[in-house]
Structure 1
Amino acid sequence: KAFLEMDGEYEKFRDLRRVIDRCRDHIEAMTDQRFSYEGVREGRKVTKLRFEVWYESSIQGILPLSDTQFAIEEMQAASELISVGYTQNAYEAVQTYGVREIHAVVAEVRQAIKAGRNGAKPIYNPGGFTATRLKERADLANTKAALAEVVVLPPEEPTANVAGLAEVLVSLFETYRREAAALIWEEFNEDDRARFLSSLEARLDRFQADLLQKFGWSGKSFEMLRNRVLLEDHGERIRDLRRFVADEGLFAEHPEAVRDDILKLAEAKLA
């Protein structure tokens, strides 16, 4: 708990188990130490924990070690992912996103967890939050790269150039909104999600509700509807198009008049 900066939390055994299990994943990934544990009860209350510790001759944890092995910094990055509850393959994440990006996202997640303990919106699923932020940042970087590749046409053909940039901006902004809605959903606990689904069902006509219920409130149609309602209900957390462009520093290389034309055309496409 101290390692995860969670002193004073998870006093109940069923909650503390989550912390212990996360630490076990971390230890087994990085060392040849293994352990199991069980709660010792006095009456109905767990008052002690009994641990059994042993060692294996080779490491066979979450991080598969190749013949060349990880570089030290890559192992540390994977370890950091595990420490914030990332439950997917940490090895693949490091290979996909890179060490520097892993460090940046883990720092962001830890800050969000700390802010949640100090009165901000709590992060109920740090692992899911981490996965979402990794993907969101990667999508943003990819779309920025696409923006950079848009050919700047000569002055006599400004309309075609503005149209191409506006198309890319619309794609970038829609990706941002989709990922923002997914991030809000990841932050919901089970009670939040149950309340949201009840509220959503009340907004639908009988046919729509029956159809979504038939498919278990899942699938692409449900996700599109869920995201739209989440964005409507949590609009204060979502940047508008102009704020988004300013924050991300998009089109800074273009004159102000051209930037304004791009924004107006993109706004029209999104309307």
Structure 2
Amino acid sequence: MPKLPSGLANWNSLAQTLGDDCLRISSYNLHRCIGRDGQQDAARVAKVIDELGCNVIGLQEVDNRFDGGHASLQLDYLAERTGMEAIAGHTMVRHEGNYGNGLLTRHPVLNVRQHDFSYRTREPRGALDVEVDVAGVAVRVIVTHLGLRPAERRFQVNRLLKLLHDAPMAQPVVVLGDINEWLPLGRPLRWMNGMFGRAPAERSFPAWAPLFALDRVWVRPRHNLLAFTTHRSAVTRQASDHLPVKALIATGMPGRTKG
């Protein structure tokens, strides 16, 4: 089995051998489906989701609004195009529509919670907290998008860690999203790595010339994380200002593989 420098197995080769008890999951900041060309094109984003080969997609900057009679219901559209179930985690609710996080899943949904991480007068932020059934195992997936200022991120990560402090250690937990943190020694990253183990970092922003590893996936227990990569293709470099990242995660149900 080929290995990456991080010690994680190669995503593509491993994905072909693992069974349905392995969680294939992605985090993707859609940037309201506005691409490098300045055009809002949800169909282009749907092509990216098809390319990913994942059964759960955590989304950020999803725009569901009615503007002058024109509907831009991105989450519903993407669910219909990809054949997945959509869960909304809006952080802004306005008369013209909603904006924020979202989740697409092919796994059955067991529970949905939403958490407010808003900080003072800054842009509202939150976390979408969803339990999905992966081959009989309840996996908790938390999708978030942290703030632009350091004080915001410290506040929001503290809220997140308190939220998970009493979570059962036996239950697999995945935290993913755009964390807006580019300093490896920044406190939010150190705090998250302290609870979950160090998350792999691959540059994902900006999509056309990636410099910063803003999009992350943390897994508890850490050894359940089997592979992680940034998904690069011609369409991902055009569809949003972020590249999607994806991971393969064991769910604690040994003995199931294809073939």
In terms of Rg, which structure is larger? 1
Q: Per chain length, whose mean CA-contact separation is higher, i.e. which structure has more relative contact order (CA < 8 Å, sep 6+)?
A: 2
TM score, norm. by length of structure 1: 0.22
Compare the two structures and name the one with the higher strand fraction: 2
TM score, norm. by length of structure 2: 0.23
Compare the two structures and name the one with the higher helix fraction: 1
